[in-house]
A and B are shown apart, each in its own frame.
Chain A
């Protein structure tokens, strides 16, 4: 884990260099420019909305249906296009696992 590189203000953490989201470690205002780095990968993004402590924001543009990556692994799919700097949460990200609602009831006869 590499912390935000800004020496004076620690904004967010990037866990794995492959991740497409970072996690805020304090409440951040829209417009804040955040720099995060991990494993030789470095991002500098301006937040397009307020991001609360513990919440995620996109580090790069993510297309609809693309996998969202955190911990170096896919945590779900984007349900709409997400621009760099935008909040990533239930409104634009859905998990693919433990989703009994996705089972076709007729097909399985369940």
Chain B
């Protein structure tokens, strides 16, 4: 049986796009990576902030995320660009280990921006042959990993768009596929309902630990982290608990089979939770790095962002948003509130849209050319206030 046509990679992955990725290992190489990507048709720049001066777990998360892009199922071949050879080669080796064709260049070795750009375009145009040789062949829903996202939520998002995503999640999981719910802040207050769905106690405990860690951060800062975005509040959302109870509806009712870390790949099929921060660009960056071929993104009052490698389907159930944010919306399920159809029929609409995008129909954010990638920092970095002068700590200096 075939549900859609996808690119079957030599390493067994199945992609729904046939990108060439130009992965910048650190931010000082981003301009060269963008120039190279602009020079070859079908190339997408993967350019995040930082990468230089990061250490330990913070660096590992950055590199793991970039490797996830370089070896993504939607990527036919990758070119890694870095400032110097050590970091370029290390990242390229990580990508090669996953079976994706990859080459690397270092700007210092090439002799600056112009030479590196010229060499990069030359290498990438040769790698383009890998992409040109790929053909779409029959694939099934069970081959898909879907990332679930909501942003710019309003008080009706939970019962309209998120519930529609939930219907599709259940159908994909039932077919043997995988869905990844994330945004740890946005399960606070609803975590007990997810933990109760864990397929084994250890997995439920991991989920509760992720929530405890996140909530402990609010305690550490001594801040009320509950105030939602101004857009959420105007949309009628009042509390963290309310937002979370609506947010978890994206994941339907399937058992929770795994909890993974930021940008990690699921090892099991089914409903998976990823422990990663909720802000839209940050979270979609992590979901795409996990190998999700597509993201389903419900928005209440409107959020424009899409991922450059994983096509991001924008869904809304808000009639006003469907109208004023129309340029960014792919699937309109406003008929739920307008009384035109029920959630099952809304799920059918989203499933049709999903299969069209899987078959190659560009999403709104693909047509508009979004390329934003934001990798979360671990422990913030050099500005972390582990020390302060006495006067700044509130003790008067005489």
Interfacial residues, chain A to chain B (CB-CB below 8 A): 1, 3, 10, 13, 15, 23-25, 52-56, 70-71, 73-76, 88-90, 93-103, 105, 108, 110
**Which B residues lie within 8 Å of A96 (CB)?**
241
> Does B56 sit at the interface, judged by CB under 8 A?
no
Interfacial residues, chain B to chain A (CB-CB below 8 A): 154-156, 158-159, 163, 185, 188-190, 193, 214-215, 217-226, 233, 235-242, 245-246, 300, 318, 320, 337, 339, 343
Are B241 and A101 within 8 A (Cβ)? no
Are B225 and A1 within 8 A (Cβ)? no
What is the chain B residue whose CB lies nearest that of A15?
B159
Q: Which of B154, B188, B238 has the most CB of A within 10 A?
A: B238
* Given A24-B236, A53-B156, 15 new contacts (CB under 8 A): A1-B163, A73-B190, A73-B241, A74-B241, A88-B238, A93-B239, A95-B189, A97-B241, A98-B214, A98-B225, A101-B222, A103-B219, A103-B222, A110-B219, A110-B222
Are B155 and A71 within 8 A (Cβ)? no
CA–CA, A55 and B237, complex, Å: 7
CB of B361, distance to nearest CB on chain A (Å): 30
Q: Which residue of B156, B190, B224, B225 contacts A23 across the interface (Cβ within 8 Å)? A: B156
**Which A residues lie within 8 Å of B320 (CB)?**
53
**Which A residues lie within 8 Å of B245 (CB)?**
70-71, 73, 75
What is the chain A residue whose CB lies nearest that of B220?
A110
What is the chain B residue whose CB lies nearest that of A90?
B238
CB of B322, distance to nearest CB on chain A (Å): 13
**Which A residues lie within 8 Å of B241 (CB)?**
73-76, 95-97
What is the chain A residue whose CB lies nearest that of B248?
A71
Q: Which residue of A10, A15, A53, A98 contacts B226 across the interface (Cβ within 8 Å)? A: A98
What is the chain A residue whose CB lies nearest that of B239?
A95
